């Protein structure tokens, strides 16, 4: 590792520690600071070097936003619930889980039918990431889709490998339910 990459990793680690602490205190923060806390992960993804981690973080934020809007719960609690139902265990992503998160995760399991993420090659070295959340809306199935265009260096390394080794142009990951 170079000195520059060591410095980047040190910054990332410290920012993540600060972010974990702020998420734990989220309910007591003033609205302006809540906005800052919510935008820190965007800052981290700009300096993050692990594309797999970046994508996980971004997808979990999409899921948490969906839960926040549909269940009217605080964003950090929704993020915790997303981690729980998807059985996430990477400590770089996790914040301290509260008892309320476990209860909310049970409610989420009643709402959400399935969560899938698709990476599709659009043109040479550009991908579309589609996050699909299938859920119950008034006792009818519905889907929320979030589509984003990603450059080659922003897609997860396993998606890049699948394309380079096997020529696979579409990769799909089922996050929930876990089978």
CA quadruple 91, 95, 96, 97: dihedral sign: negative
Residues 6+ apart with CB under 8 A from 58: 45, 148
How many Cα neighbours within 13 Å face the side chain of 67? 31
What pLDDT does residue 133 have? 98
Count of C-beta atoms within a 10 Å radius of residue 120: 15
Q: How confident is the model at residue 1 (pLDDT cuts 50, 70, 90)?
A: very low
Distance CA 160, CA 179 (A): 24
Query: Could you read off the pLDDT of 18-62 as tens digits, one per residue?
Result: 777 777 788 888 888 888 877 776 665 555 567 888 899 999 999
DSSP label at 97? P
Lowest-confidence pick of 27-36, 99-108, 137-146: 27-36
pTM: 0.75
Overall average pLDDT of the 121-134 stretch: 93
């Amino acid at each position: 590792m170079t000195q520059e990459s060591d410095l980047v990793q040190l910054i990332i680690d410290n920012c993540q520690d600060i972010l974990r602490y702020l998420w734990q205190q989220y309910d007591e923060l003033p609205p302006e600071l809540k906005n800052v806390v919510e935008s820190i992960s965007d800052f981290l993804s700009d300096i993050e070097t692990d594309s797999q981690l970046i994508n996980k973080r971004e997808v979990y934020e999409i899921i948490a936003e969906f839960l926040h809007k549909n269940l009217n719960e605080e964003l950090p609690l929704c993020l915790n619930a997303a981690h729980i139902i998807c059985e996430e265990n990477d400590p770089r992503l996790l914040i301290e889980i509260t008892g309320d998160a476990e209860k909310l995760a049970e409610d989420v399991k009643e709402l959400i039918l399935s969560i899938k993420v698709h990476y599709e090659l659009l043109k040479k070295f550009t991908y579309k990431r589609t996050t699909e959340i299938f859920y119950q809306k008034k006792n009818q199935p519905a889907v929320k889709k979030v589509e984003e265009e990603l450059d080659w260096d922003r897609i997860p390394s396993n998606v890049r490998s699948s394309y380079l080794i096997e020529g696979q142009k579409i990769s799909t990951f089922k996050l929930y339910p876990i089978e």
